[in-house]
Structures are given as C-alpha cells and as structure tokens.
A and B are shown apart, each in its own frame.
Chain A
Amino acid sequence: MSNTESGFDILSLFDDTPQPQLDISQDIALRVRNLHVRFKRQHVLKGVNFDVKRGEVLGFVGASGAGKSVLLRTMIGLIQPTSGTIEVFGQEFSKAKELREQLIERHWGILFQHGALFSALTVRQNVQFPMREYLDLSPRLLDEVAAAKLKMVGLPPEALNKMPSELSGGMIKRVALARALALDPAIVFLDEPTSGLDPISAGEFDNLIRTLQRTLGLTVFMVTHDLDSLHSVCDRIAVLADGKVIAAGPMSVMLASEHPWLKAYFRGKRGRVGATM
C-alpha cells in the first residue's frame, strides 16, 4: 500500500498537468483554527482561532511574552505547529511543503522586526532578490521595478546602490518593506513595523502602510505595540493573551471592553491620547 503511494508521489513529480494555483480572490485570506504550539516545557499557543479577511489590516496585540512572535513565526512557517491548521486562501500549507514553496511564498511578503536585509547585498539586490528567484525578467525591467518599489516606500533612487550597513533605521524598514512587496504579494506580514522609529517616522510609516495597502489591495497581518498604528492603520484588532485570542474587533470594541487587560492596554495612560483623537 505504502509502496504504491510513494510510487505515485514520484510519478507526480514528472506530471505535466499545470500546478494548482492559489485563488487569491477568496474572502478569507488567512484562517487559523485551533492552533497549538508547545515547546519542551512551555505551552505557548493553546488553541488560537481567528480569520483575516481579504483586504483588511489586522493588528495583533498582546503582552510581551504572550506568544505574538511565536504566532507570527508559526504562520510564516518558521515554527511547526504542534496541532491545528493554518489556511492561506483556503490552502492548508503546514502539511505540504512543496505547495508552500510554489504557491504561498510567492504570494506573501514578510517585514521582519529588524529588517533582516541581506547585509552582503546592496539595496537594489535585496529588493530584486525575490524577483530573480520567482520571475523571469529582463535586467532592465528588474532595475526599473526596483526603482518603482523604492519610490513607493518613499526612498530616493540613490539608495539603490547603498549597502544595508549605510542606512538609518527608518530607511532599513522602508527597504525591507520594499523587499516584502517585491512580488506584489497578496498578504503582508509585518512584525512591529514601527518599533525603533521616532514618532514622526512611525506616523509616516503608518501612512505608507495604509496607502500601499489601498493601492496594492494588500491583506495585512501586523504585530504591533504602537497604539497610534492600531488607531490609524488597523481595521480590526485581535488580542492574544494566555495563548488564546481573547478579543477581536475594531478599535471601538476594544475601547468599550471591560476586560481588565484590554482596559489597561487601550485606556491606560499611554492609550488615552490616541483614544481622544
């Protein structure tokens, strides 16, 4: 039985039938069901459930150490979940690695907290890196699209030939965003996009995310601590505490909630300024 199955798998590698395509017009971009992640001693995620609709910006908040980073890393495939499912446009990817590589990674972009630019490559090469991997383009088009992407994230074309070590923190984030958007992805994951930026740059970055989200029709999954970002960018907010999503909804729901942690978070001293805006 198992023999015939593996034989079939090998044959299917040579199959000429076209690869399945990801249908990115579905209403639910991301669907997470009953996700558990357990490390040796800690049970970090204890049954996380939520959906991200296509074209919305979902902000994820939670106390430090609540498991936001683990959730993000699980969703982008860096951590294997103990149980539960993650579907990207209806395709459950944690099971089929080839599927993930061919379909899903082509359709998402990830902005890491510290940029994670390849330090040995110039800005241009960083932005073109995914394009070279996935698309067959002429050098001229590669250069032109890279310049267009940099313009979109608000960087001058001179930045193209710089090395990441020559850039400021804000510029690194912008280049990293340009790289995340290189393939015109359907979903973008942002890990604390405004951390480490001054309030003015953070505000500009929020606007940029919002503009690009509208222009490119992106679905954005964003982990953040920045209340201003939550106010100005996010359509919905989900709150992770104790390994579970304890609340999800627009800002007004969060502000109205009587849950002690939500009250402290959104209506605490630091939240008040944003709330009265």
Chain B
Amino acid sequence: MGADALLAATVSGDRLELLAAGDWTADRANDLERLIMAVALPRKSPIRTVRVNMAGVAKLDTYGAWLLERLLRGSREQGAKADVVDLPEQFRTLVDTVHQTTELPDPERLRRASVADWLAAVGENIAEVGRSAALFVQMFGAVSVAFLRVFWRPRTFRFTSLVNQIDLVGWRAVPIIVLITFLIGAILAQQGIFHFRRFGADIFVVDMVGILVLREIGVLIVCIMVAGRSGSAYTAELGSMKMREEVDALQTMGFDPISVLVLPRILALVIAVPMLTFLGEMSALYGAGLVASLYGGIQPEVFVQRLREVISLDHFMVGMIKAPFMAMVIGVVACVRGLETKGSAESLGAQTTAAVVQAIFLVIVLDGIFAVFFAAIDK
C-alpha cells in the first residue's frame, strides 16, 4: 500500500521543472529529503525559475509540506523565482500553514568540552558545595528554632506525626538492621579468629570485635543503613510534596513547613537511631560470639568473661553518644535536599542521590571528628 515519493526534474534554459508524485508523508520523509536535497539549487546557479508541479501527489502531511517549503525557500535564497502549481485543493491549507513557520531555531549542537568548560565545572561544583553547606546550616538553625518553639507552646507539636515516623524509621527498620549487623559481627569474628590463630592469640578476637563494634562499626553501619533507607525516603517524600505544591499550600495556611514536616522527621531519627544502634551492637556481638564458639572454639562463657574484662562502659558510651548526632545530620541533609527539589522528576532523583551520598559522607566525617575528640579527652 502507498507509493514512494517521487520527484522528477527537467531543466530547460533557466527553468527547472519539478514533477512530484507519490506519497509525501512521514514514512517516506527520509527518501524525500534526499530527493529534495538533490534538486536544491547550488550557489550561483543559472536557474532563474523553479516550478513544482504537485498534481501527482496522492498524500501529503506536515513532513512532505515542510520539505516542499524547504525546497521553495532554498530556491528563493539563490535568487530564483519559485512557485507551486496544480496543488490538490485538500492540501492547500496545510501548505499555507507550514509556510507560516517563520524563524528556524539554531540546531541543537553538542559543544566540545574545552579546558575552560572543565574549569567552569570545577568552579560551579565548589560553589555548590558552599551553597550546600549554607543550606545545611540554615536548616539546622530553622529546626533548632522550631524545636525551641515546641517548649514555648508544646501543643503545637505534631506528636502523632512523630510517633508515625518513629514507627517507619525505627520499628520497621529493626529486622534489616539486626540482620546486617549480625552478619557484620560474624564476619569480623571469623576474620579475626582466622588471622589471630597463627599467633595463638585467638582470644584477642573478643577484644577486637568488642571495641570495634561498640565504638565504631555498630553506629556507622546503622547510620549508613538509615541514610539509605530513611534519608532517601525523607527526600523523596518532601520532594514530591514540594513538586505538587503541598509545601506551598501548608505555608499559605499559616503552617511552618519546618515544624510540621521537618521537625517530627528529624526528632524521629534522633530518637530511633540510638535505639537501632543499641540493637545493632548487641546483634553484632551475638553474631561474633556465635562464630567464636562454632568456628573458633571459644566457649560462650569465655567470650562473655573476656568481654567483661576488656570492655568498659566508656567504649559503649563512645558509640552511643555519636548516634543522635549522626541521626541529626542524616535528617537535616535529607530534609534540605527534599525541599530543594525543583519541578522535574529528574531533579527529585538527583536530590535523593545527593541526600544519601552527602549524609553518608557527613556521617563518616563526623565520626572522624568524634575520634579526634575522644582521643583528646583520653576516652
């Protein structure tokens, strides 16, 4: 069905006669474009008149009409007179409509990356880091103000929302946190026993696992999990609320989005993460003890006894004190990124990625600062 687009050219003196036939439609546009380009007038062409006879064209759509228009325009640009004859009546409006297309845009070109572009990108990224830091501080301040306002007027606090968020980020995270930390504890113990055994120092695996889990690994693993699990959820929730103007709606009704949306979420994390950290640490120690008895032949009583000797309350407290601070960082970053979301779906994705990456990065930086601090006070 359908006929190929055709264009037959005859030159007589300074006249170019073109006889068009077939279907001038989108499906044939590729061939047709080639035909049109083939008859396009070269520079300083002797041709003075171009006449296109469209009588034989069976079908014409926007694509065909545009290519006809391009042929006519090209001819006129070379100083020739161009016209169309015998255009079937049903196509006239279409040809006229397409003729009204005035300016053509510059084609979209991919620019070659230059050194200047690269430098500009570096500069923009540095400025963006500064902007992120400013936004972080700003949000931290706004949340602090909202928190203090709760003491002033406790009734304005969204208690239901807080409980709901604790359920979402705390209670429902328990199974996965317990599982992951259990596995990490077990792996640490296995690796420790495997290597310490060469020196006959099997029992020191308890020291290593105990100190490592309670001081560093427990809280870090939990925070990384929470950043990936709940931080991303916060960003996506707030981001889509921002996109659908829900945040604006809240604001116009006289609610402060920080108090209504952000504060309960951050407080929920600050409450839930220490609990999850405690559970995670216990689970990791249990996993380590299990591997020690099954794989390393260290009896559970010996394991617990050794743990009592080497672990002081300080080790435990060092880990636990970090948890709420890290939770705060995760929450603030996630909420900042959520509220920074612009209209597009792509922006929401970019912000969610940024939230998780920045939260994990800041958690590790914070952990480093704490390490320096605790070393300085000899704990």
- By a beta-carbon cutoff of 8 Å, the part of chain A in contact with chain B is 21, 23, 119-120, 124, 131, 134-141, 143-145, 147-149, 151-152, 157-158, 160-161, 163-165, 181, 183-184, 211, 214-217
Within 8 A of A (CB), among B101-120: 101-105, 107-108
Q: Closest approach, in angstroms, between the C-beta of B5 and any C-beta of chain A?
A: 13
Contact A184 B61 (CB under 8 A): yes
Closest A residue by C-beta to B107: A143
Task: Pick from A135, A140, A215: contact of B107, CB below 8 A.
Answer: A140
Contacts A119-B344, A158-B105, A161-B105 known; 12 new A-B pairs at CB < 8 A: A119-B345, A120-B345, A134-B26, A135-B27, A137-B30, A138-B33, A141-B63, A141-B66, A145-B66, A148-B66, A152-B98, A216-B94
Task: Return chain B residues, CB-CB under 8 Å to A158.
Answer: 105
Contact B62 A145 (CB under 8 A): yes
Interface string of B1-40 (1 = CB under 8 A from A): 1100000000000000000000001110110010000000
Task: Return chain A residues, CB-CB under 8 Å to B160.
Answer: none
The 9 A-B pairs with the shortest beta carbon distances in the complex, nearest first, are A165-B343, A119-B344, A184-B61, A120-B346, A151-B101, A148-B101, A21-B1, A157-B105, A215-B93
The 14 sampled A-B contact pairs (Cβ below 8 Å) are A119-B344, A120-B345, A131-B26, A141-B33, A141-B66, A147-B101, A147-B104, A148-B62, A152-B97, A158-B105, A165-B343, A184-B25, A215-B93, A216-B62
- Whether B342 is near chain A, meaning CB under 8 Å from some CB there, is yes
- Whether B191 is near chain A, meaning CB under 8 Å from some CB there, is no
Q: How far is the CA of A134 from the CA of B29 in the complex (A)?
A: 12
Task: Return chain A residues, CB-CB under 8 Å to B343.
Answer: 119, 163-165
Task: Return chain B residues, CB-CB under 8 Å to A21.
Answer: 1-2
Task: Return chain B residues, CB-CB under 8 Å to A147.
Answer: 101, 103-105
- Whether B70 is near chain A, meaning CB under 8 Å from some CB there, is yes
Interface string of B47-72 (1 = CB under 8 A from A): 00000000000000111001100100
Contact A157 B103 (CB under 8 A): yes
Q: Closest approach, in angstroms, between the C-beta of B26 and any C-beta of chain A?
A: 5
Q: Closest approach, in angstroms, between the C-beta of A46 and any C-beta of chain B?
A: 34
Task: Pick from A136, A144, A214: contact of B30, CB below 8 A.
Answer: A136
- Whether B252 is near chain A, meaning CB under 8 Å from some CB there, is no
Q: How far is the CA of A148 from the CA of B65 in the complex (A)?
A: 10
Indicate whether A165 sits within 8 Å of B342 (C-beta atoms), given known contacts A23-B1, A157-B105, A215-B93.
yes
Closest B residue by C-beta to A142: B107
Indicate whether A148 sits within 8 Å of B90 (C-beta atoms), given known contacts A21-B1, A119-B343, A143-B104.
no
Closest B residue by C-beta to A23: B1
Q: How far is the CA of A158 from the CA of B105 in the complex (A)?
A: 7
Task: Return chain B residues, CB-CB under 8 Å to A139.
Answer: 107
Task: Pick from A145, A152, A215: contact of B63, CB below 8 A.
Answer: A145
Contact B1 A120 (CB under 8 A): no
Task: Return chain A residues, CB-CB under 8 Å to B312.
Answer: none
How many interface residues does B have (CB within 8 Å)? 32
Contact A120 B26 (CB under 8 A): no
Q: Closest approach, in angstroms, between the C-beta of B257 and any C-beta of chain A?
A: 20
Q: How far is the CA of A184 from the CA of B107 in the complex (A)?
A: 22
Task: Return chain B residues, CB-CB under 8 Å to A131.
Answer: 26
Task: Return chain B residues, CB-CB under 8 Å to A149.
Answer: 62
Q: How far is the CA of A158 from the CA of B70 in the complex (A)?
A: 20
Q: Closest approach, in angstroms, between the C-beta of B68 and any C-beta of chain A?
A: 12
Q: How far is the CA of A161 from the CA of B109 in the complex (A)?
A: 12
Q: Closest approach, in angstroms, between the C-beta of A198 and any C-beta of chain B?
A: 19
Q: How far is the CA of A23 from the CA of B345 in the complex (A)?
A: 38
Task: Return chain A residues, CB-CB under 8 Å to B345.
Answer: 119-120
Q: How far is the CA of A217 from the CA of B94 in the complex (A)?
A: 10
Q: How far is the CA of A173 from the CA of B104 in the complex (A)?
A: 22
Q: How far is the CA of A140 from the CA of B108 in the complex (A)?
A: 10
Contact A144 B70 (CB under 8 A): yes
Q: Closest approach, in angstroms, between the C-beta of B354 and any C-beta of chain A?
A: 16
Task: Pick from B2, B61, B344: contact of A216, CB below 8 A.
Answer: B61
Contact A217 B102 (CB under 8 A): no
Q: How far is the CA of A183 from the CA of B108 in the complex (A)?
A: 21
Task: Return chain A residues, CB-CB under 8 Å to B105.
Answer: 124, 143, 147, 157-158, 160-161
Task: Return chain B residues, CB-CB under 8 Å to A164.
Answer: 343-344
Contact B26 A183 (CB under 8 A): yes
Task: Return chain B residues, CB-CB under 8 Å to A137.
Answer: 29-30, 33, 63
Q: How far is the CA of A38 from the CA of B70 in the complex (A)?
A: 51
Q: How far is the CA of A76 from the CA of B175 in the complex (A)?
A: 44
Q: Closest approach, in angstroms, between the C-beta of A118 and any C-beta of chain B?
A: 8
Interface string of B322-348 (1 = CB under 8 A from A): 000000000000000000001111100
The CB with the most chain B CB atoms within 10 A, among A134, A149, A184, is that of A184
Indicate whether A151 sits within 8 Å of B108 (C-beta atoms), given known contacts A23-B1, A138-B33.
no
Closest B residue by C-beta to A159: B105
Task: Pick from B1, B101, B344: contact of A165, CB below 8 A.
Answer: B344
Closest B residue by C-beta to A212: B97
Task: Return chain B residues, CB-CB under 8 Å to A181.
Answer: 62
Indicate whether A148 sits within 8 Å of B33 (C-beta atoms), given known contacts A163-B344, A165-B342.
no
Indicate whether A138 sits within 8 Å of B30 (C-beta atoms), given known contacts A21-B2, A119-B343, A217-B90.
yes
